[in-house]
Amino acid sequence: MLRFLYTVAVYLSTPVIVWRLVARGFRYRDYFQRWRERFGRFPDPGLHDCIWVHAVSVGEVNAALPLIQALRRRYAPRPVVVTTVTPTGSARVRKLFGDEVFHVYLPYDLPSAVTRFLDRIRPALAVVMETEIWPNLFHQCGRRGIPLAVVNARLSERSLRGYRPIRALVRQALGNVTLIAAQSHADARRYRALGAESTRVQVAGNLKYDMPLPKGARLRGAELRLRWGETRPVWFAASTHEGEELAAFKAHLALLARMPDALLLIAARHPERFRAVEHAARNLGFAVATHGAGDANPETQCLVVDEMGVMMRYFAACDLAFVAGSLVPIGGHNVLEPAALSRPVVVGPYTFNFEEITRTLIDAGGARRVASAAELGPVVLELLRDPAGLVRMGIAAHAVCARERGAVRRTMVLLGRVVARARYREESAPVIAAGG
């Protein structure tokens, strides 16, 4: 009955969902393309017994990269299917894997769409990244006997409270999950509190610690610094949301009064906002350059990064990274990307998406937290005026990354057990039936 009521609600909200898809399409044209996939309608790729990995957007795709590579090696020649929700996630999959994996959008959680989707990809194993819980999809996986694992699983206290009104429905959905490989003991505890069966919840660590550095990232960063001026102070406001760009620009204006050659790199989280950020920077009087127009020069005061998939070279090129989504209640973004490159990190007060990682970096001396937008400028100035301190922070941040690696190996061990149990049940089923 719970899932029936949920399904009715999803069907009733479908016109709103479609309108939202159209509205986003006016801002970001890729939303108009392949929209039929969101209802499970796409040509049958002729797959069977594939490994299916779902990663909602760019961050999850990047985190899943080493796991997908390990799954492809372990289970070759089985095909691999990767689904995303956003066009930026889709573009990242295409850039990382090309035609080596089959990519399609995950359908909306409508029974008919989910049925068509599963009928076409026919997975032998379903792997869902982080915190995606879809009652109809999970139910169909359980009904079909598809082993379903939620890996790199995280659940904040805020999300746990948010699920409270529908906890019975979520508990029902989690009953179809074979494995929850949690990032931390705190995440595991919250999943159990949400209703996951205790024996199915294991702690494997955070896959983001195992993310490989893009080839040549450090070299590209060094080349950029040579072009800009090696001694000038450079800081990066990365993955900003509306409301955070102004804080970064104000901080940079104050910084320029003390350090006239300082350079701000800024990258909006969503591509549809690239132009708005560039226009805002120009309207404030900065000497602006963009990545797409050929990058900065020694006179540039603000460089707008207006392309996806190039963040790591700019992390490598900066002295200090402010990881955004943390001055507004978004929950923060991945602080490990700059940390892996030995770059000190600054975050705001809202880091609940990466709370344990952020706290670990702060405790180790690799990151600083500001309580508000007003504190951003003074803290950035303080840190940039202490080059030796920046080096120490960068070393501490990198040490955390090195110490915590190994989640891919642990996750693969757990997934191997899931696959082995499924294979045993499949092979044993005819014998049991005959005996009965």
Q: Are 198 and 293 in contact (CB under 8 A)?
A: no
- The CA-atom distances, in angstroms, between 342 and each of 117, 138, 339, 389, 397 are 42, 40, 5, 12, 6
Q: How far apart are CA 330 and CA 239, in angstroms?
A: 11
Q: Are 149 and 127 in contact (CB under 8 A)?
A: yes
Q: How far is CA 315 from the centre of its chain?
A: 17
Residues sharing a CB contact under 8 Å with residue 128, sequence separation 6 or more, in sequence order: 53, 54, 148, 149, 150, 151
Q: Are 57 and 30 in contact (CB under 8 A)?
A: no
In the numeric block, the tokens 């000497």 are attached to 287
* Phi, psi values for residue 203, rounded to 5°: -100, 120
Q: How far is CA 370 from the centre of its chain?
A: 23
Q: Are 31 and 24 in contact (CB under 8 A)?
A: yes
The token pair at 124 is 């032998």
Q: Are 218 and 394 in contact (CB under 8 A)?
A: no
In the numeric block, the tokens 């069977």 are attached to 48
Is-catalytic flag, 60?
yes
Residue 287 gets the label, from left (phi > 0), alpha (psi -120 to 50) or beta, of beta
Name the active-site residue from 37, 60, 244, 245. Answer: 60
Q: How far apart are CA 95 and CA 8, in angstroms?
A: 38
SS3 per-residue string spanning 251-315: HHHHHHHHCCCCEEEEEECCHHHHHHHHHHHHHCCCCEEECCCCCCCCCCCEEECCCCCCHHHHH
- DSSP class of residue 229 equals -
Enumerate the active-site residues. 60
